[in-house]
């Protein structure tokens, strides 16, 4: 008999409007498309899981996949054994979990299961995972292509006013040189800048772009080429004048192992809500340590700080202001450039009941 049985799983689509439209080389967006998962247990705590995409309506498909494929495999299983549950859900779904929305669904359920485990243990998640740091420096993320020059500088300066010392901006739309020079001149030589190409370049274009970025002391070029072609990414990394960052669109430990084996990136950026959940994020963190690479993250800073902060290889989780702070039950303020890891049982990231009621897609 399971120690703490999973009684039911509730998956909810929650499209949340952005304060204002944003744009990258991949497209323009007016909302974030969230899924929240509530894992209810018999006589125990409820666990919360999530994922998030920019724009679109993928949440509807993810909810159906969780309800029809994953929940039947999970109900009645032990909520205190997330590794066993992960294997049970993944093993019978391998053909549909090579990547994409199936893995997003698995990730959200896995996150909820780890939340249950940590709550039941009476421990913050980061303690359960090793507890390397409790105060985690972050980098500011934005620099969207639809921002005017004054707006991008103001956004960067707003992050700097919080004590944040690094900022990521978008490239890949024709004014890369001008935007890069603008930010470097505005922020000075000691401020760290990252450039995100969102898979926009060919290998040749990426290498050429890296030379321009190196002239301005840019610390990395992110996702310079198609994420599906790790060989191309490795070719860029071998010739690039600046380090490469990648991983937001990589799946499972095996996708990251390929990146590591080819030395295709110096910075790994798993998204816990896409890579296979906390179960896989832990293994990706171990790869980063083994290959002596830096471990960052993609989105969900509220949760990523616990994961990156638990790893000796952890480096500056991404801090993007996409979800209004008042939609969550707990605030995650940036103080002196860092966020304090929640010192509460579980991972500490939950939408309020009001937010769920307001934004759930009927």
Inter-residue contact 150 to 322 (CB < 8 Å): no
Query: For the purposes of burial, counting CB atoms within 10 Å of the CB of 179, is it exposed (0-12), middle (13-18) or buried (19 or more)?
Result: buried
Cα→Cα distances 240→32, 193, 221, 260, Å: 33, 16, 9, 16
Inter-residue contact 133 to 98 (CB < 8 Å): no
pLDDT at residue number 62: 96
Domain ranges of the chain: 6-122, 127-340
Which CATH number describes the domain made up of 6-122? 3.30.390.10
Pairing of strands 318-319, 139-141: parallel
CATH topology of domain 127-340: TIM Barrel (3.20.20)
pLDDT at residue number 361: 87
- Sign, CA dihedral 285-287-293-299, equals negative
Tens-place pLDDT, residues 293-302: 999 999 999 9
How far is the C-alpha of 303 from the C-alpha of 299, rounded, in Å?
A: 9
- The edge-to-edge listing of strands for the beta sheet with 318-319 is 294-295, 267-268, 244-246, 220-222, 192-196, 166-170, 139-141, 318-319
Q: Assign 23 to helix, strand or coil.
A: strand
The stretches in the chain having pLDDT less than 50 are: none
pLDDT at residue number 14: 96
Tens-place pLDDT, residues 189-242: 999 999 999 999 999 999 999 999 999 999 999 999 999 999 999 999 999 999
Q: Is 194 left (phi over 0), alpha (psi -120 to 50) or beta?
A: beta
Phi, psi of 166, rounded to the nearest 5 degrees: -145, 145
Q: pTM of whole model > 0.85?
A: yes
């Amino acid at each position: 008999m399971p120690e703490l049985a999973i009684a039911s799983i509730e998956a909810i689509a929650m499209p949340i409007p952005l304060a204002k439209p944003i744009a990258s080389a991949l497209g323009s967006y007016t909302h974030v498309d969230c899924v929240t998962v509530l894992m209810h247990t018999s006589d125990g705590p409820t666990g919360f899981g999530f994922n998030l995409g920019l724009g679109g309506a993928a949440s509807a498909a993810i909810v159906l996949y969780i309800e029809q494929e994953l929940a039947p495999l999970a109900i009645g299983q032990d909520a205190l054994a997330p590794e066993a549950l992960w294997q049970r859900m993944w093993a019978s779904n391998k053909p549909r979990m090579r990547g994409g929305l199936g893995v997003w669904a698995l990730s959200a359920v896995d996150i909820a299961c780890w939340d249950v485990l940590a709550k039941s243990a009476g421990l913050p998640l980061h303690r359960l995972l090793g507890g390397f740091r409790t105060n985690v420096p972050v980098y500011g993320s934005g620099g969207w292509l639809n921002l005017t020059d004054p707006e991008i500088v103001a956004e960067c300066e707003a992050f700097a006013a919080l004590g944040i010392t690094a900022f990521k901006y978008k490239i890949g739309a024709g004014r890369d040189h001008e935007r890069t020079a603008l930010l470097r001149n505005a922020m000075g030589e000691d401020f760290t800048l990252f450039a995100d190409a969102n898979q926009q370049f060919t290998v040749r274009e990426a290498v050429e772009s890296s030379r321009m970025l190196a002239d301005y002391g840019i610390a990395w070029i992110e996702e310079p080429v198609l994420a599906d072609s790790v060989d191309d990414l490795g070719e860029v990394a071998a010739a690039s004048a600046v380090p490469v960052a990648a991983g937001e669109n990589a799946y499972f430990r095996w996708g990251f192992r390929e990146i590591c084996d080819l030395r295709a990136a110096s910075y790994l950026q798993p998204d816990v809500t896409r890579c296979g959940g906390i179960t896989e994020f832990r293994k990706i963190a171990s790869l980063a340590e083994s290959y002596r690479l830096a471990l960052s993250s993609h989105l969900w800073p509220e949760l990523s700080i616990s994961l990156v902060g638990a790893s000796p290889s952890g480096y500056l989780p991404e801090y993007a202001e996409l979800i209004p702070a008042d939609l969550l039950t707990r605030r995650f303020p940036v103080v002196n450039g860092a966020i304090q890891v929640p010192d509460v049982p579980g991972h500490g990231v939950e939408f309020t009941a009001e937010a769920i009621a307001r934004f759930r897609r009927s």
